[in-house]
Every structure is written in structure tokens, then in C-alpha cells.
Amino acid sequence: MTLDVGFLRDLCLASGASGYEAPVGRLIAARIRHTVPRAEIASDTVGNFSVTLADEGVGGHRVLLAAHADQIGAVVSGADEHGFVWLQPSGLLDASLLPGHLVSVQTATGPLDAVVGRVPGDFLRDGDSAKLGFDDLWLDIGAKTQEEALSLVAIGDPVTFTPSFVRLARDGLASQALDDRAGVYAIFRGLELWSAGPHARDTEGVTARGTGSDTQGQGGLHRGAPHVTAVATTGEETTFLGARALATSLRPDIIVVVDVIWASDHPHVDARKLGGDIRLGAGPVLNRGAGLSERLVRLVRTAAERARIPLQLRAVPGSTLSDADELLATPGAETIAFGIPLRYMHAPCEVVDGNDVEHTAELIAAFLEVIAGS
């Protein structure tokens, strides 16, 4: 496995609930300034974090690579007279996965540990646990009164699963934020691979505008190479706010969205309902259908074949349930969507195969090579 495990680990351990993704952007900026010093680094008013690699004044496709920075979570909504804190979901979070787990409340003074409480199962009547909702849960932060609780946390503070990153057997990786830090890794790692790839050449006078650096570039792009912007988007788990902003602020003609996708290779999952048999370790998933560009699908398959990258296909008869749904409406652009196979989405520990993550990055670089000549 050639995955940069340290980079992915750092991404997964960074705090980044919907609307609070800035730590992820800062981490990426620190890395890109080192690995691709000629890149342009920027952020917008909704928090989207972008890195652009361009050969000024030269034609070529304008490519947007997008993956969302936010992770699933909840928000503080109040506290009772005994100091127990109420919470409400921020995105599609399953209440049944929370009881007994450690979570982290991102407060104004830093992260605060908490335990998700509920009535013990021994006290529930038959069938009650199946009806569990957020009104049946609370956060135990150790406070004794409402006043004490609200002195430690504030209404609206984001809550996420306590950060973790674990290596499993056979290149398996487990973390609470692989959705979609695996995708974030893939687009920025793919940009790094593209920067160092066959199209690189020496260029003078290219600076990293917006970074405060006047370092000369360590390689430009051949004439006709694409103008590439990679963006860690905000709010995908809640409002798609970041993608909506990109659809109007940028003018790409090719859009590549990378997100995780449900794997079918574990018990009690029907592959037919997922649009195909999706397995960990079998390569990135190329979504096909529902307005996604068939021309780009063919080019991706060509890129995968040339680079000898394993590729899985998934039928998408309707919504992709990703930023692609918003970006499909971008005027003048064709869109494709990649998926990284993942088990246990939106759970305290999600699981991927590290080879799939790195292959997705490699596929992005190979795809950019193909469209450079198209």
C-alpha cells in the first residue's frame, strides 16, 4: 500500500463538523505549501478551501475536484436542571448508534469530552429500543446544574464522535471521519501526483498567490494542460452550502466529485439495492447515470485501464446523495462522481481499504492526463 497514512490520519483526527471545517483547511494548506509550493491557496466566505494549479494564459479544460470536509455530527440544543445536555442531529445521524459512546463538544475554549447517555436497556420495555430518538438521549459532561452545564457548553456548539484512527488487518483503516476525509485525501493527493507527473516542466515566475510566498514553481504544465482546482467543500452533511456556492462562483467545464459509497461486502446488505456489488479493496467506484457525463465515464475507464487501476461501477438511477447533485447544475460543465467503498457510514468507526483511497488519488491524476490530450 502506497497510501500516505500520516496525511489521511491527520485529516481524520482534525475537527470538522458542518459549518466548522476550518481546521481541515488549515491542515491541507500546511501540506500543500510544502508539496506543491507553486499552487494558489484560497478560501471563500462559506468556508470552501481551494488549491489551484494553473498554467497562466494557456488553454485547456477547467477542472474542479470536490470532496466535502465536514463530518457527521450533532449540535448542543440546551440543558436540563440536572446538567445533562440536549443534542440534535446535524445531518443523517442515527440515534441508535450513539448511546454509550464518547463524543467531543467543540466549545469556545476547546474540545470537551462527553458521554452519550440513555435509559439503560434493562429498564426498557420490549420494542422501545427500536424507537430510540434524539429526544431520548443526552450528553453527560459531568455538570450538576443547568447553569454549570451552560457555562461549559453553548447552544449551537458542534458535537462529533471522539477522534480515532486505527489500522486493521489487510490494509483496513477505521476512523469516525473517513466520510469524507478519504475523499479529501484523494483529491489533494491526486493533485500532488498530477503536479509531479508526466506533464510537469520547469517554469519561472509562477508564485503561490494567496499564501504569502514568492517561491518559484518547481514545475508548470504543458500547453493545453487542464487548469485544476481542488476544493474541500463545506456543509455537505447538512445543506450542501459549499457545493451550491461553487456552482455559481467557479466556471469549470469538468467536475469530479469524490465521496465515500456504501460497500455491500458485509452481512445483511443487499447489493441490488445499492446499485451494484461494491467491495473494499476492489478499487474506486465510478458512478454511472442520473445526469452524470457518459463521455467522462468513458474517459475515466480509459484512464483506469492505462494506469492499471482497478475500477468498480455503480448504477445511479437518481440522486448521488453527494455534492454532485448540486454541482450537476453548473452551467456549461460535465460532471462525474467517484466513490470510495466504505462500511458503517455515519457510525463511530467507519472502515475503508487504504488501497482504494490511494487508487482514487491515482485515478484522478490519470484522468487529468487523459483529458489533457482530449
Q: Which of 131, 161, 191 is the last residue of a domain?
A: 161
- For residue 13, tell me if it sits in a domain: yes
| Residue 303 near residue 363 (C-beta atoms within 8 A) | yes
DSSP string covering 45-111, please? TT--EEEEE--TT----EEEEEEE--B-EEEEEEE-TTSPEEEEEESS--GGG-TT-EEEEEETTEE
Q: Are residue 67 and residue 83 in the same domain, yes or no?
A: no
| Helix (H) or strand (E) run with residue 366 in it | helix 354-372
Find cell 440513555 and name the residue.
Answer: 118
Write down the pLDDT at residue 201.
38
Q: Which of 161, 193, 220 is the last residue of a domain?
A: 161
Q: How far apart are CA 25 and CA 70, in angstroms?
A: 11
Secondary structure E strands in 108-239? 110-117, 138-140, 158-161, 165-167, 172-175, 200-201, 220-221, 227-233
Q: How far is C-alpha 167 from the geometric centre of its chain's CA atoms?
A: 19
Q: Which of 132, 161, 190 is the last residue of a domain?
A: 161
Q: How far apart are CA 269 and CA 246, in angstroms?
A: 34
- For residue 166, tell me if it sits in a domain: no
Q: Are residue 26 and residue 67 in the same domain, yes or no?
A: yes
Write down the pLDDT at residue 208.
30
Q: Are residue 253 and residue 306 in the same domain, yes or no?
A: yes
Q: Are residue 48 and residue 33 in the same domain, yes or no?
A: yes
Q: What is the pLDDT of residues 218-234, one digit of tens each?
A: 334 444 678 999 999 99
| Residue 240 near residue 18 (C-beta atoms within 8 A) | no
- For residue 172, tell me if it sits in a domain: no
Write down the pLDDT at residue 231.
97
Write down the pLDDT at residue 220.
40
Q: Are residue 228 and residue 276 in the same domain, yes or no?
A: yes
Q: Are residue 191 and residue 269 in the same domain, yes or no?
A: yes
Q: Are residue 96 and residue 223 in the same domain, yes or no?
A: no
- For residue 167, tell me if it sits in a domain: no
Q: By mean pLDDT, which of 44-58, 59-73, 96-110, 152-166 is the weakest?
A: 44-58
- For residue 352, tell me if it sits in a domain: yes
Residue 323: CATH number of its domain: 3.40.630.10
Q: By mean pLDDT, which of 34-43, 220-229, 343-352 is the weakest?
A: 220-229
β-sheet with 254-262: strand ranges across:
40-43, 49-53, 227-233, 62-68, 254-262, 334-342, 285-288, 312-315
Q: Are residue 48 and residue 77 in the same domain, yes or no?
A: no
| Residue 299 near residue 266 (C-beta atoms within 8 A) | no
- 367 vs 206, residue with greater confidence: 367
Write down the pLDDT at residue 121.
63
How many domains does the chain contain in total?
2
| Residue 364 near residue 299 (C-beta atoms within 8 A) | no
Mapping DSSP to helix (H, G, I), strand (E, B) and coil, where does residue 332 land?
A: coil
Write down the pLDDT at residue 250.
86
- For residue 136, tell me if it sits in a domain: yes
Query: For residue 353, what are the CA distances in angstroms to 85, 104, 279, 359?
Result: 36, 26, 9, 10
Q: Are residue 260 and residue 135 in the same domain, yes or no?
A: no
Helix 294-307 / helix 354-372 crossing angle, nearest 10 deg = 110
> Is the whole model's pTM more than 0.85, yes or no?
yes
Residue 311: count of CB within 10 angstroms of its CB: 18
Average pLDDT, the chain: 89
- For residue 35, tell me if it sits in a domain: yes
Q: Are residue 63 and residue 78 in the same domain, yes or no?
A: no
Write down the pLDDT at residue 329.
87
| Residue 29 near residue 193 (C-beta atoms within 8 A) | no
Q: What is the pLDDT of residues 151-177, one digit of tens each?
A: 999 999 999 999 999 999 999 999 999
Query: For residue 238, what are the CA distances in angstroms to 183, 231, 243, 318, 323?
Result: 17, 18, 11, 19, 11
Q: How far apart are CA 65 and CA 63, in angstroms?
A: 7
Q: Are residue 206 and residue 147 in the same domain, yes or no?
A: no
Q: Are residue 203 and residue 96 in the same domain, yes or no?
A: no
Write down the pLDDT at residue 341.
98
Residue 107: CATH number of its domain: 2.40.30.40
Domain residues for the domain of 34 are 5-71+177-372
Q: How far apart are CA 141 and CA 197, in angstroms?
A: 50
- For residue 125, tell me if it sits in a domain: yes
- 209 vs 357, residue with greater confidence: 357
Asked if the model's pLDDT at residue 260 lies above 90, the reply is: yes
Side-chain half-sphere exposure of 321, counting CA atoms within 13 A: 12
